[in-house]
C-alpha cells in the first residue's frame, strides 16, 4: 500500500515505537508518586518537556502542556483564554472542524465571525481587523490548512491582534513536522499541536502557552487538577510523551527534508495535471505546505475515487466528507467554489519518507481510477 494520507496521521518512527515500548516496560510509575519509580517517571517527563520545548522553539519548558490530542489542546486553549472580558470570537471560514466546534462550544452567547478567504484560500486581513477592533476578542487561525495546505502569515495576524488587544490561538497541528515552525516566532498566546501528525505516537497533544501572561487570564481549565501546572488534570501518558519527544528530536534536520518533499509534491502535481483532463490544484499560486496537494477531478465523486484508489493500493483522502449523507468540503466552498467541485476534490499528503517511485505510481493510479469511475451525478 502506498500511503499518501499523512495529513490524517503519520506512521510512527521506529525509534518512537521502541521508546514507547521501553517506557511501558520500565517507566510504569506514576510521575506524581513520591517513591523512586515515580521520581524516575517525573524526571523523564520533565526531560521530555524540555526536549519538546527546545525542538519546537519555545523559550521555556514551562510553556509546554501535554494533552491527549490536538482537539483537547484546542479546547483547553479556548477554555483558558476566554473569560468575561472576551466578548467575541473570530475564526477563519476554512478552519478544521475541531476549531469550529470549539468556538461554538466556548462562545456561550458571544458572537462568532468567520473570516472570509479569497479564491486562493488567503484570509481577509481587513475583515479581521474591522471585527476585532469593535470589542475584546479571541482569534483562532491555523498555520496551515489541513485540506489544501495553504499557509497563513501568522506573525502578520499576531501583529493585528495585538494592536487591537485581541488574544490569538494558533492551530499548528498540520504545520508541525511539515514546514519550519518556531512557537515563539508565532507571537501567539497559545498554540495546539498533535504528535501523530509528525511521526510521533497517537495519544499525545501539545498545548503551547505564552507565559507568564496566560496565568493572568481569567479562564479555567476543562478539568482542574494539579498535573500540567494546573492546566490539564489526569495521569500522564508518559510512554506517549516520551515518544513525542523522540519525534520532535527527529525534526532537527527538517529543512532539507521539507525541500525534498516539496520537490516530490511538485513532481506529483505536474504528472496529475498532465494525466487528468481538466484537473486543477487548489492554492497552486500561493504558499502551501510542501507535502500537500488538493486536486479537483472534474466529474468524479471524491468518495468513489478514494475507495477505488484504496482497492488499487493507494491511500489518500477526500477533501470533503464525501460519503453518502456527508457534506461537501466547507473549505473548498469557502474559497468560492461550488459544492460539486468540493465533492470532486481529493487530497494527497506526502511525508518525508515518500519516494519518487511512489509519487510516479500514485499519479498513474489516479489516472486509472479516474477513467474507471463514473462521472459524478451531483
Q: Which domains does the chain have, with CATH numbers?
A: 14-249 (3.40.640.10), 253-372 (3.90.1150.10)
pLDDT in tens, 279-298: 999 999 999 999 999 999 99
Reply yes or no on whether the pLDDT at 217 is more than 80. Answer: no
The answer on pLDDT for 374 being more than 80 is: no
Q: What is the pLDDT of residues 335-348, one digit of tens each?
A: 999 999 999 999 99
Number of C-beta neighbours around residue 147 at 10 A:
28
Cα 356 off chain centre by: 25
Residue 151 and residue 313: Cα distance in Å, rounded?
30
195 Cβ partners below 8 Å, 6+ apart? 201, 202, 203, 204, 205, 206, 240, 243, 244, 247
**Alpha carbons 175 and 129: distance in angstroms, whole number:** 24
* Grid cell in block for residue 25: 516496560
pLDDT digits (tens, 9 = 90+) for 40-72: 999 999 999 999 999 999 999 999 999 999 999
Work out the average pLDDT over 153-159.
93
Catalytic residue IDs: 322
Q: What is the pLDDT of residues 97-121, one digit of tens each?
A: 999 999 999 999 999 999 999 999 9
pLDDT of residue 216: 60
The answer to whether the CB of 57 falls within 8 A of the CB of 181 is: yes
Is 345 strand, coil or helix?
strand
Stretch (H or E) spanning 115: strand 111-115
Amino acid at each position: 500500500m502506498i500511503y499518501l494520507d499523512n495529513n490524517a496521521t503519520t506512521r510512527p518512527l521506529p525509534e518512537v515505537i521502541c521508546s514507547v515500548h521501553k517506557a511501558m516496560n520500565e517507566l510504569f510509575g506514576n510521575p506524581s508518586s513520591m517513591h523512586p519509580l515515580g521520581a524516575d517517571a517525573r524526571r523523564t517527563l520533565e526531560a521530555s518537556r524540555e526536549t519538546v520545548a527546545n525542538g519546537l522553539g519555545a523559550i521555556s519548558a514551562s510553556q509546554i502542556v501535554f494533552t491527549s490530542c490536538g482537539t483537547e489542546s484546542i479546547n483547553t486553549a479556548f477554555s483558558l483564554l476566554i473569560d468575561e472580558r472576551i466578548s467575541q470570537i473570530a475564526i477563519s471560514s476554512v478552519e478544521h472542524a475541531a476549531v469550529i466546534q470549539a468556538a461554538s462550544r466556548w462562545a456561550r452567547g458571544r458572537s462568532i465571525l468567520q473570516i472570509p478567504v479569497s479564491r486562493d484560500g488567503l484570509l481577509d486581513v481587513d475583515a479581521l481587523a474591522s471585527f476585532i477592533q469593535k470589542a475584546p476578542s479571541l482569534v483562532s487561525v491555523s498555520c496551515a490548512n489541513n485540506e489544501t495546505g495553504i499557509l497563513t502569515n501568522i506573525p502578520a495576524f499576531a501583529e493585528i491582534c495585538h494592536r487591537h488587544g485581541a488574544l490569538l490561538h494558533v492551530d499548528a497541528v498540520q504545520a508541525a513536522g511539515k514546514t519550519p515552525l518556531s512557537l515563539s516566532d508565532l507571537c501567539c498566546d497559545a498554540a495546539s499541536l498533535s504528535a501523530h501528525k509528525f511521526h510521533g505516537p497517537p495519544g499525545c497533544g501539545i498545548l503551547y502557552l505564552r507565559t507568564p501572561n496566560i496565568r493572568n487570564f481569567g479562564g479555567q481549565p476543562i478539568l482542574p487538577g494539579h498535573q500540567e501546572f494546573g492546566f490539564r488534570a489526569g495521569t500522564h501518558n508518559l510512554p506517549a510523551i516520551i515518544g513525542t519527544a523522540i519525534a520532535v528530536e527527529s525534526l532537527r534536520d527538517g529543512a532539507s527534508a521539507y525541500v525534498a518533499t516539496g520537490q516530490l509534491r511538485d513532481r506529483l502535481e505536474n504528472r496529475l495535471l498532465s494525466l487528468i483532463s481538466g484537473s486543477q490544484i487548489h492554492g497552486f499560486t500561493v504558499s502551501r505546505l510542501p507535502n500537500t496537494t488538493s486536486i479537483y477531478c472534474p466529474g468524479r465523486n471524491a468518495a468513489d475515487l478514494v475507495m477505488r484508489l484504496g482497492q488499487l493500493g493507494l491511500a489518500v483522502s477526500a477533501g470533503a466528507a464525501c460519503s453518502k449523507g456527508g457534506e461537501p468540503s466547507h473549505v473548498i466552498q469557502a474559497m468560492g467554489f461550488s459544492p460539486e467541485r468540493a465533492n470532486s476534490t481529493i487530497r494527497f499528503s506526502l511525508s518525508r519518507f515518500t519516494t519518487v517511485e511512489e509519487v510516479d505510481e500514485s499519479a498513474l493510479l489516479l489516472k486509472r481510477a479516474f477513467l474507471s469511475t463514473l462521472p459524478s451525478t451531483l
